[in-house]
Amino acid sequence: MKLLERLVSSQVPKSVLLIRLMVGAVFLSEGIQKFLFPDEVGAGRFAKIGLPSPGFLGPFVGCFEIVCGVLVLLGLLTRLASIPLLTIMAVAIATTKIPIFLKSGFWKMAHDSRTDFSMVMGAMFLLFVGAGAWSLDAWLRRRSCKQ
């Protein structure tokens, strides 16, 4: 099986669209906000939590969130788009939620990380199962099978 066929194959119900809409919309929104409100959620936030080169990293992460969020929404190369999103979430959890856990305990961290946890689980789900029947991935798969 060709690599592209393996990336776009998915044998899951159409309802996966709901997970794609949730994950894609949140990441798209967060990416856009990194440009609209850089002091609060972009470079300024990255500087506050101690990430290196926040002036570069804020827009860089924002671009990935926008591009990968749109890909997930469209269901195009969904598995591939999930990987950078999971990386972004791993950094977010390590730099913001672990310190909350160490300072304030499990319950405060659990409350503050509910969106992060949902995004990680949603992106992992899409990585494992693919985009589903209502997606550009499925369309590409059907198209490649006809040839």
Instruction: Answer whether residue 83 is part of any domain.
Output: yes
Whether residue 57 is contained in a domain is answered as yes
- How far, in Å, CA of 57 to CA of 109, rounded? 24
| Structure confidence at residue 14 (pLDDT) | 87
| pLDDT tens digits along 13-68 | 889 999 999 999 999 999 999 999 999 999 999 999 999 999 999 999 999 999 99
Within a domain: 3: no
Q: Is 96 among the domain residues?
A: yes
**Comparing C-alpha atoms, which of 13, 127, 3 is closest to residue 68?**
127
CA 97 to each of CA 53, 66, 130: distance values in angstroms, whole numbers, following the listed order: 21, 23, 28
**Domain assignment of residue 47, yes or no:** yes
What Rg do the C-alpha atoms of the chain give, in angstroms? 17
Nearest partner of 10 among 84, 72, 69, 65, judged by Cα:
72
Q: Provide the residue range defining the domain that includes 85.
A: 13-142
User: Which pLDDT does position 143 carry in this prediction?
Assistant: 80
Euclidean distance between CA atoms 94 and 102, whole angstroms: 11
What is the mean pLDDT of the segment spanning 74-90?
A: 97
Domain count, the chain: 1
Average pLDDT across the chain, whole number: 93
Residue 4 falls inside a structural domain: no
Q: What is the pLDDT of residues 89-145, one digit of tens each?
A: 999 999 999 999 999 999 999 999 999 999 999 999 999 999 998 999 888 888 877
Give me the pLDDT at residue 99, please: 95
What is the pLDDT, as a whole number, of residue 147?
66
- Domain assignment present for residue 6? The answer is no
Give dist(CA 132, CA 11) in Å, integer: 7
pLDDT of 5? 72
Residue 28's pLDDT is 98
The model's confidence at residue 6, banded by pLDDT at 50, 70 and 90, is confident
Judge whether 108 and 36 are in contact, CB under 8 Å.
Answer: no
pTM, whole model, 2 decimals? 0.91
- Residue 50 φ/ψ region, left for φ over 0, alpha for ψ in the -120 to 50 degree band, beta for the rest: left
pLDDT band at 1; cut points 50, 70, 90: low
